Amino acid sequence: MSQATDIRAGSPLQSVVSWLLRNHIWVFLALTVTVFSLASPYFLTVNNLGNILTQAAFIGILAIGMTMVMIDGEIDLSVGAVLALASALAIGLQDHMGVWPAVFLGLLSGAALGFLNGTLVALSGMHSFIVTLGGLIGIRGLVFVYSGENALMVPDFSYTEIPEIYLGPISLTAIIFFALAVLFQWVLSSTRHGRETYAVGDNIEAAHDAGINVRRHKIINFTICGTLAAVCGILLSMRLGTAEPNAGKIWELWTIIAVVLGGTRLQGGFGSMWMTIGGVLTLAVLRNGLRLLNTPNYVELMVMGAVLVLALVLDKLLNHGEVP
């Protein structure tokens, strides 16, 4: 009788703890918003919230593709370099072929490099960390060669007016991010490809035995990741009007932090776009809030390092079944 009473007494608490752990990122986001809104009178202004969404959108678009790859149990360290190449091509080729053909070629470069990464991972058997690390170095070098180590300026500044479309305080860039997140959440939850993504990440041998073409599947997800990195680079070039050779440098790290903070397991087999959105917004709020408080750059890096450690601890808890 007492044991049953203990179970009943413990059940509500267990349910609350379970809910908090499953939705940890939204709890963390609410806490950060509360802290910075109290610390700075400028944080909760409409303009600043709109800026946070726009800033989040760039890492967010990268994070969507990274989520697809990481649920597969892989990783792509080359997204920042792919972003830079797409940005450079989208601006650098405008004098030769016009705006939209240049933009299309920039987008195509991302898809091609994602396809190449996926093919090397799938056919060579090498770990994606090594393959995409090589891609990061090689593609970044290619950007420096193409740009002559200088920033490329857009020839027609009407190109920069495209991302200035707003729906209230929400920029076109943020709208594109949320639209892509909804689309790929639907892919994960409602399509065969999405179900296979979880299956491959959870148990690759079982997925192969079930008839899933694992190689083709990984190539598709790496291609998606590369394409979205190119989308991010093109939107960044539109917003800035320039293409810097160092554009997107270390953005792959911010992206991985956001995705893992959202609960996607490094080992694969678990994650969602909704939780990735939470991770992206939390990271953007932290960076924005720290800058509003005029925090030195090294303090920001220390905070982000602590956030990464927190994300890895949560990943370990989730991966070892600590969350019911």
Q: Is residue 323 part of a domain?
A: no
4 within a domain of the structure (yes/no): no
Which residues, including other chains, have CB under 8 Å from residue 196's CB and lie 6 or more apart?
207, 212, 217
Single-letter amino acid, residue 321 = G
Could you count the other beta carbons within 10 Å of the beta carbon of residue 25?
23
* Terminal C-alpha separation, the chain: 25
Residue 121 lies in a domain: yes
> What does pTM read for this prediction?
0.91
Q: Is residue 8 part of a domain?
A: no
Expressed as residue numbers, the domain containing 299 is 14-318
Q: Tell me if 7 is assigned to some domain.
A: no
Task: Tell me, yes or no, whether 5 lies in a domain.
Answer: no
Could you give the percent of the chain with pLDDT greater than 70? 90
Q: Determine, yes or no, domain membership for 9.
A: no
Q: Indicate whether 290 belongs to any domain.
A: yes
Residue that the structure tokens 């920042």 belong to = 80
Name residue 153's beta-bridge partners: 242
pLDDT in tens, 98-146: 899 999 999 999 999 999 999 999 998 889 999 999 999 999 999 999 9
CATH for 150: 1.10.3470
Q: How many domains does the chain have?
A: 1
Residue pLDDT, tens place only, 23-78:
778 888 999 999 999 999 999 999 999 999 999 999 999 999 999 999 999 999 99
324: confidence class by pLDDT, cuts 50, 70, 90: very low
- Give the model's pLDDT for residue 5: 46
